[in-house]
Chain A
Amino acid sequence: MKDQRLTDREVDMQDIKISAHGVQVFYGDTHAIKDVDVEIADKTVTAFIGPSGCGKSTFLRCLNRMNDTIDAARVEGDIRIDGEDIYDARVDPVQLRAKVGMVFQKPNPFPKSIYDNVAYGPRIHGLAKTKGDLDNIVEQALRRAALWNEAKDRLDKPGTGLSGGQQQRLCIARAIATEPEVLLMDEPCSALDPIATGQVEELIDELRSNYSVVIVTHSMQQAARVSQKTAFFHLGNLVEYDETGKIFTNPQDPRTESYISGRIG
């Protein structure tokens, strides 16, 4: 744990992937995110934790502008990826979302075949020149999402016919098939059994070598296992953001302390 933290600190200083300043989100009159500042490092796993309804998903959705699709939602503040303001008028959210992939809280496979689910992103972004390329991409994505063994004989069967946990892994495969630079995962393991969870966590750890991963989770153990940095949200505020080890062993804020101990203890 200790030397991992050391390497992370190095990375932190070199490479900030996402930086957010003064982010406010309103749903109509509801103030869901209150003046959040956060800097997310490249090639790290950042965990968002906090009680239900505190705005973790909302903040996550700001990072790939999925909140644009909610009419009532209004986002203020400055969010930059690689130094570019993603809410700039010149930014095309479609292009942004190709770069910032997302796995949603509830598994939402397309009602198409498993193959088409994974191939959809590469197809619309033109990532594969030939059928063979596409087959390859699909296979790699399914392998990395730990679904290949279960799915390889039923690629043409509907994705909605899979179990809940398999569906979530399919969604992960779909998200990584487009080779995003940032992967946002909203409670990706809430529907998974411990074995699949272990596989997904392995995947997350592996993804860290190339991408920056942001994961929302309700499991303290999971946050502790997979992330290098942890952010604790409470009632729309970012209460504490630090290295994971520090948050779990030596939290600075009493709210963090009570949340963690309440859950863990």
Chain B
Amino acid sequence: MTDMTPEATPRAAQSLFTRTDNVRRRYRRGSVLKYLGLGAIGLVLFFLCVLLWSILSRGIPAFFQYQAEIQLYYDPEILEADGTGPEALGELSLRSDLERGIFAQSLRRTLEDSGIDTAAFDDGDLSALIYAANRRDVRDELVADPDLVGQTVTVGVPISLNITRYLTGGLSGEGTSGMPPGFNREQLDLIDQMVAAGLVDRNFNWGFFTNEYSQSGEVAGIGPALMGSAYMMLVVLVFSLVFGVAASIYLEEFAPKNKFTDFIEINIANLAAVPSIVFGILGAAILLTLGDLGFGSSIRGTALLGGIVLSLMTLPTIVIATRSALKAVPPSIRDAALGVGASKLQTVFHHTLPLAMPGILTGTIIGIAQALGETAPLLLIGLSVSTGASILSSPFTGGLLEQAQSMPTVVYLFAQNQDLPVREGLAQAAIIVMLALLFALNIIAILLRRRFERRW
């Protein structure tokens, strides 16, 4: 005690109002760490903003469509050149009869009626302004209803996407880079006149959510892809939740701790790290095997197959999340239940599982969100092929066993499109829909978690 006193005396001289060097050094270290952390967060936010801006600025305009109000006159002179009846109508040339004939002439007539001079433009110049090419749908309509011939119908025909870019201000109309490819200044002036005459409407493009994928951006949509993804998520939910939770409960609560269960545990962790394309190859292998058995082509590209492959991918995520949620339940709760004479099964289902539910749900939704965005395996099992769209009669009839598309593969198709406005518009619009779905899923996860937590 006595030799402590001389040490204590110089310390007592230190006032509490001034900081010692030691304290100052410690604070300095702390603030360095703090600013590093803030810097990292700032960087992340910056990249997030850049990403969101690039997607939103291109994607949001793509949700709106410019349409020209046209008095479409099904001119008998053109349509019945080779005789009447559905057969003859089915033989109509898409290019010369419909595009250059019906559409160009109807547009010309509509313009003349509004007092716009079109003498300087040939039929090709006119029909290029609107979505008139490859109107197989109009031909099919005529075949189905030959009475249309000779009638005049007011329809909104989508403006060509390149012109749309000019209308939205994406192109200036000046200089080589400011001109829509394939158009000249006179055509742009004509469009300006049409806008001035009130012949062009801007509407929200509901068709984007219901139409099928198409090469032509004017009518392309994500209907079947939305449905396909929804079906696949359903399959993933059922498969991976049921199997994942069952496997986790067994491993965590019932399995003996031995070499074999250790081995399984390591492999589940490994499975979670397997690149998704490998699961695609696995799916393709399943497909081949089924093909050898005689029903391969019927399952190719279906939501069921896609869902199964995605489930395999999601399973390890869910197993890992569920197991850690089960582990986090305090052992004293299990003791309490066993202590009053609950069986092991009752302990799990009455106490452990409900307490682990928030964690399980979070894991499941994260897994599903992951699966929703997964592209590579789906490309390998045929969910990207655009033939899927033509097989689907209507986007909302596709079932589990029909050819399907999925959101990520349709984004991939849009991004590969030859037209710039599709690559840099519709692709982003589809991504926005996907992100909205992901946010919705996350919100559901949070709400479910709240609900379960409140029920303890």
Binding site for B on A (CB under 8 A): 64, 66, 69, 71, 94-95, 97-98, 101-102, 104, 106, 108-112, 120-121, 124-125, 158, 160, 171, 174-175, 178
Cβ of B29 within 8 Å of any chain A Cβ, yes or no, is no
Q: Please choose the segment from B193-201, B222-230, B292-300, B337-345 that sits at the chain A interface, where 4 or more of its residues have CB less than 8 A away.
A: B337-345
Are the C-beta atoms of A69 and B334 separated by less than 8 Å?
Answer: yes
With beta carbons under 8 angstroms apart, the residue of A104, A158, A178 that contacts B336 is A104
Are the C-beta atoms of A71 and B257 separated by less than 8 Å?
Answer: yes
Contacting A at CB under 8 A, from B339-362, are: 339-343, 346, 350-351, 355
Interface centre among B256, B337, B346, B456 (most CB of A within 10 A): B456
With beta carbons under 8 angstroms apart, the residue of B257, B335, B355 that contacts A69 is B335
Tell me the complex Cα distance, A175–B343, Å: 16
Closest 4 CB pairs of A and B: A98-B341, A108-B332, A121-B340, A111-B456
With beta carbons under 8 angstroms apart, the residue of A69, A95, A175 that contacts B340 is A175
Measured between beta carbons, the chain A residues less than 8 angstroms from B335 are: 66, 69, 104, 108
Contacting A at CB under 8 A, from B87-126, are: none
Tell me the complex Cα distance, A120–B351, Å: 11
Interchain Cβ contacts under 8 Å between A and B, 12 examples: A71-B257, A94-B341, A94-B342, A97-B339, A98-B341, A104-B332, A104-B336, A108-B330, A108-B333, A111-B456, A120-B350, A174-B340
Evaluate whether A158 and B456 lie within 8 angstroms (CB atoms) in the complex, with A66-B335, A108-B332, A111-B355 already known. Answer: yes
Measured between beta carbons, the chain A residues less than 8 angstroms from B351 are: 110
Measured between beta carbons, the chain A residues less than 8 angstroms from B346 are: 124
Shortest B435–chain A CB gap in Å is: 36
Are the C-beta atoms of A95 and B336 separated by less than 8 Å?
Answer: no
Tell me the complex Cα distance, A108–B332, Å: 6
Evaluate whether A66 and B339 lie within 8 angstroms (CB atoms) in the complex, with A111-B355, A112-B456, A160-B456 already known. Answer: yes
Evaluate whether A110 and B339 lie within 8 angstroms (CB atoms) in the complex, with A71-B257, A124-B346, A158-B456 already known. Answer: no
Measured between beta carbons, the chain B residues less than 8 angstroms from A171 are: 336
Measured between beta carbons, the chain A residues less than 8 angstroms from B337 are: 110, 120
Tell me the complex Cα distance, A137–B324, Å: 37
Tell me the complex Cα distance, A66–B347, Å: 14
Are the C-beta atoms of B340 and A178 separated by less than 8 Å?
Answer: yes
Evaluate whether A110 and B336 lie within 8 angstroms (CB atoms) in the complex, with A71-B257, A158-B456 already known. Answer: yes
Measured between beta carbons, the chain B residues less than 8 angstroms from A102 are: 339
Contacting A at CB under 8 A, from B41-57, are: none
Shortest A62–chain B CB gap in Å is: 14
Residue of A nearest to B331 (CB): A69
Measured between beta carbons, the chain B residues less than 8 angstroms from A64 are: 339
Measured between beta carbons, the chain B residues less than 8 angstroms from A174 are: 336, 340
Shortest A30–chain B CB gap in Å is: 18
Interface centre among A106, A124, A171 (most CB of B within 10 A): A124
Interface centre among B336, B341, B342, B355 (most CB of A within 10 A): B341
With beta carbons under 8 angstroms apart, the residue of B332, B338, B355 that contacts A106 is B332
Tell me the complex Cα distance, A99–B146, Å: 86
Shortest A102–chain B CB gap in Å is: 4
Are the C-beta atoms of A69 and B338 separated by less than 8 Å?
Answer: yes
Tell me the complex Cα distance, A64–B431, Å: 60
Measured between beta carbons, the chain A residues less than 8 angstroms from B332 are: 104, 106, 108
Measured between beta carbons, the chain B residues less than 8 angstroms from A110 are: 333, 336-337, 351
Tell me the complex Cα distance, A230–B350, Å: 37
Measured between beta carbons, the chain B residues less than 8 angstroms from A112 are: 456
Measured between beta carbons, the chain A residues less than 8 angstroms from B339 are: 64, 66, 97, 101-102, 104, 175
